[in-house]
Structure 1
Amino acid sequence: MATTVAAALVTMPPGAVREMHWHPNADEWQYYISGQARMTVFDTGPNARTTDFSAGDIGYVPRNLGHYVENVGDTDVQFVGVFRAPRYEEVSLSNWLAHTPPRLVAQHLNIDEKLIAQWPDTSPGVMPKT
């Protein structure tokens, strides 16, 4: 068993979105195996960058930066995320919001707490096209 590297294989059907998330323990290197993807990475302040990827491309996300990946093609996107860390760690936006006091979330997002009560408390990971 590896003690210095972790990896995740992600498969996304057409139109799917890999939920907004970040990795607290390592940078992420991605190798795109198939499909057409678009990734947006949010840096500190108002900075964000969006990049398109296809088979053979390499993506990079610095540790702790929020990001999401979209399948913008008509075939499955598959990529492997590699981390120089002993284990895979992720904080998803949905999980983070679900474990923040509802009153605080409601005040910051200007929404009703009743809506927050309907949110799942676990991450969907890859969300299908709606």
Structure 2
Amino acid sequence: MMISRISIIVVLSYIITSTSAYDPDALQDLCVADKSHGTKLNGFPCKETSNITASDFFFAGISKPAVINSTSGSAVTGANVEKIPGLNTLSVSLARIDYAPGGLNPPHTHPRATEVVYVLEGELEVGFITTANKLFSKTIKIGEVFVFPRGLVHFQKNNGKSPASVLSAFNSQLPGTVSVAAALFATEPALPEDVLTKTFQVGTKMVDKIKERLATKK
């Protein structure tokens, strides 16, 4: 009896872990996102089959470089379920990232997906940090690929004198992005100031200066 109970617990634990690790599996051919419905429960409701068109599976937004006007010198163009309704329940999405010379995609995480980048143009320094605070970094060039494991802090930087761009693939229809700097210094409402001063071992003037600089980037 004890063995069977343990077996059931192990099996249930495996099922729960497996089902929560990725986007839900599709149980039908299509579930095009119906954003007008207003309801959202771990995904979007399905559009009526009669209203589905080929346009629900098409997006031309990553065919050309984006206009870069950020202070970090990079621009991200997502091709996820919010842009392509047909991706709903399919557990996959793309993004294009363009970098000006010296441009940076600042340290961030994707809580719901592993990311694979393929270099379209230029040369980039990329890297991620493990939970043991170990950095894995490499310089990648046109045609080369690098992987950022799910949930780990990572970055990309164009150290060259010409523009660069990558195509990113995710195993989620909506991977989500948490910017490290913005999450700490630009939240609404703001984190308690003493949390930041004690975390970074700096004074309130330094914290206020960082907040002010990030606020000007919005």
TM-score, length-normalised on structure 1? 0.86
SS of the aligned residue for 1:97 comes to helix
* Displacement after TM superposition at 1:86 (Å): 1.7
Native 8 Å contact 2:111 2:175 kept in 1? no
SS of the aligned residue for 2:154 comes to strand
**Structure 1 residues 93 and 58: alpha-carbon distance in aligned structure 2, compared to 1, 3 A threshold:** same
Question: d(CA) in 1 for partners of 2:217 and 2:114?
Answer: 20
> What's the % identity of the aligned pairs?
21
* Displacement after TM superposition at 1:117 (Å): 2.6
* Displacement after TM superposition at 1:96 (Å): 1.4
Question: d(CA) in 2 for partners of 1:17 and 1:47?
Answer: 20
Relative contact order, CA 8 A, sep 6+: which one is greater?
1
Question: d(CA) in 1 for partners of 2:108 and 2:133?
Answer: 17
Instruction: Establish whether residue 116 from structure 1 lines up as the match of residue 203 from structure 2.
Output: no
For the aligned residues, what is the CA RMSD?
1.8
Q: Any idea what the Cα deviations from partners look like across 1:38-64, whole Å, max 9, x if unmatched?
A: 012101113111111111011100111
* Displacement after TM superposition at 1:121 (Å): 5.1
Native 8 Å contact 1:94 1:121 kept in 2? no
Spell out the pairing of 1:75-86 with structure 2 (5 A cutoff): 75-86=162-173
The structure carrying a bigger strand percent of its residues is: 1
Higher alpha-carbon deviation: 110-119 or 21-30: 110-119
Native 8 Å contact 1:7 1:88 kept in 2? no
Spell out the pairing of 1:5-84 with structure 2 (5 A cutoff): 5-84=92-171
* Displacement after TM superposition at 1:88 (Å): 3.5
Question: d(CA) in 2 for partners of 1:76 and 1:31?
Answer: 15
SS of the aligned residue for 2:205 comes to helix
The structure carrying a bigger helix percent of its residues is: 2
Runs of 5+ unmatched residues, structure 2:
1-84
Question: d(CA) in 2 for partners of 1:64 and 1:122?
Answer: 27
* Displacement after TM superposition at 1:123 (Å): 7.3
